[in-house]
Amino acid sequence: MTELFVTNFNKNFTGVSATAANVLRQQVRLHDVRLVGRALPHCPDPISLKMARTLSRSRPDSYPFAIWHVRRNTEMRAAIWTRDVLRLPIRVVFTSAAQRRHSALPRWLISRMDAVVATTEEAAAYVPHVRAVVPHGVDTASFCPAENRANAWEALGYGGTLGIASIGRIRPEKGTDLFVEAMLQLLPQLPGAKALVLGRAAPEHQVFLKGLRDRVSAAGLGDRILFPGEIPAAELPRLMRALSLVMQLPRYEGYGMVPLEGMASAVPFVGSEAGYYRAFATQGNTGLTVPQEAPRRPQPPHWRCCKIPRGIRPCAIRPATWPSPVSAQRAKRRASKPSIKSFGAKGNGAYNASPHRSATSKRSVASKQKAAARKEGLASAKPPSFCCVYRA
């Protein structure tokens, strides 16, 4: 019988979808797994929510319950209904990447999870019931270096001699305007380079997209800063390995998969101080992080690295540092948390019983402790090798 149900209810392929697909492709080797909802690239064919509930009526042979692994509000709601209203023998696990306090509805939904997996220590400070901290990973069978980058770029048909790209939804939160601003300053100094704005703009962001196109046209760079739209997920690895630089400048990012995918493809990156980009950059060895509004400054010195890009090496040459070192204080706190084996019991009660005061206080204390721990010797960390990290 099915042991694990992985949900994907979003019809669009997002960063969350990419992480779900990466993990699911590993989980199928270890468990009897079903994908529920929308299809994901190179994953098993999905089943409907109704079918998932039907299959969940029977317990797996080896366990007293099946696990539903969810990542979005809609998926949490469906799982809670399945467990608490239909009274089916399941437990619900939620993956959280957000490095901020959730709004009221997600907080309530998360409080009803049996276990939470956080992607970073910072994200773990904002949610209850954290049983493990597991960073996202990249499928290195798909994302790998090109044998000849120049030939790979030429085969894409965008012209020029090298490519720089920003990948993701086109909207202010993702900093698409900052990327365009940086390219307007950089490309005149870099003959032969093409810049790609890869992603889809939602209906509410069409005006924003039009403003970017107008800005590019006014600068006379319409043939060098291109807007190809959203790239199908299956084609992204081929495009990624042909790039010379990935530039991600979001104003907010929970984690950020694009730099990881680039580094697995031996492509360095420039990123804003968002998500987990600083850890990925390993103090300039595999990428650079820059101040949030750096592209708006006249002749920002950080963009000089794009010309080779020099001073930063792809991760295929040097492994990256994973999350900031775990101090003795952190290790003690993590050791006091319940084991992953204990998540059959629903929650620890504190987050559910005293809604916000207790939870907020705990988060505040945890955040201060983490900030203090982060100041301790970063160089003392013993990094595992970079690209990823699937844990059963």
184's tokens: 């307007």
| 80 φ/ψ angles, rounded to the nearest 5 degrees | -60, -40
The pLDDT assigned to 269 comes to: 86
Query: Cα 323 to the chain's mean position, in Å?
Result: 14
What DSSP string runs through 154-217? HHHT--SSEEEEEES--SGGGTHHHHHHHHHHHGGGSTTEEEEEES---GGGHHHHHHHHHHHH
Topology annotation, domain 4-138+329-380:
Rossmann fold (3.40.50)
The more confident residue out of 139 and 348 is 139
Q: How far apart are the first and last CA of the chain?
A: 19
The pLDDT assigned to 341 comes to: 40
Is pLDDT at 352 greater than 50 in this prediction?
A: no
Q: Where does residue 264 rank: exposed (0-12), middle (13-18), buried (19+ CB within 10 A)?
A: buried
Is pLDDT at 326 greater than 60 in this prediction?
A: no
What's the rounded mean pLDDT across residues 288-302?
Answer: 60
- Cβ atoms within 10 Å, residue 140: 16
278's tokens: 């600083």
The more confident residue out of 190 and 375 is 190
What percent of the chain clears pLDDT 90, i.e. is strictly above it? Answer: 42
pLDDT digits (tens, 9 = 90+) for 14-24: 878 888 888 89
- In whole angstroms, what is the distance from residue 328 CA to residue 162 CA? 46
- In whole angstroms, what is the distance from residue 293 CA to residue 118 CA? 28
Instruction: Select the CATH number that applies to the domain covering 149-307 from these four: 3.40.190.290, 3.30.910.20, 3.20.20.70, 3.40.50.2000.
Output: 3.40.50.2000
- Cβ atoms within 10 Å, residue 113: 28
Ranges 109-113, 319-323, 352-356, 370-374, most confident:
109-113
The more confident residue out of 332 and 127 is 127
C-alpha separations of 214 from 150, 178, 243 in Å: 30, 15, 25
- In whole angstroms, what is the distance from residue 195 CA to residue 198 CA? 9
The pLDDT assigned to 61 comes to: 84
- Delimit the domains of the chain by residue range: 4-138+329-380, 149-307
The 4-8 sheet, strands edge to edge: 33-37, 4-8, 66-70, 90-96, 115-118, 130-133
126's tokens: 């904002």
What's the rounded mean pLDDT across residues 179-191?
Answer: 91
How does 144-155 read in b/e, with b if 16+ C-beta sit within 10 Å?
A: bbbeebeebbee
**Residue 387, SS3?**
coil
pLDDT digits (tens, 9 = 90+) for 250-275: 887 777 788 888 888 999 888 887 77
Is pLDDT at 360 greater than 80 in this prediction?
A: no
The pLDDT assigned to 369 comes to: 53
The pLDDT assigned to 390 comes to: 25
pLDDT tier at 223 (50, 70, 90 boundaries)? Answer: very high
Is pLDDT at 247 greater than 70 in this prediction?
A: yes
Q: Which of 103-117, 160-174, 202-216, 282-296 has the lowest mean pLDDT?
A: 282-296
The more confident residue out of 11 and 323 is 11
pLDDT digits (tens, 9 = 90+) for 26-62: 889 889 999 999 999 889 999 999 999 999 999 988 8
pLDDT digits (tens, 9 = 90+) for 81-133: 999 999 999 999 999 888 788 889 999 999 999 999 998 888 888 898 899 98
pLDDT tier at 296 (50, 70, 90 boundaries)? Answer: low
The pLDDT assigned to 297 comes to: 54
- In whole angstroms, what is the distance from residue 165 CA to residue 239 CA? 10
Query: Cα 153 to the chain's mean position, in Å?
Result: 25
Is pLDDT at 198 greater than 90 in this prediction?
A: yes
Q: Are 138 and 294 in contact (CB under 8 A)?
A: no
Backbone conformation region of residue 389, classed left if phi is above 0, alpha if psi is from -120 to 50, else beta: left
The pLDDT assigned to 302 comes to: 45
pLDDT tier at 221 (50, 70, 90 boundaries)? Answer: very high
Same fold, 4-138+329-380 and 149-307: yes
pLDDT digits (tens, 9 = 90+) for 55-95: 999 998 888 999 999 999 999 999 999 999 999 999 999 99
**Residue 227, SS3?**
strand
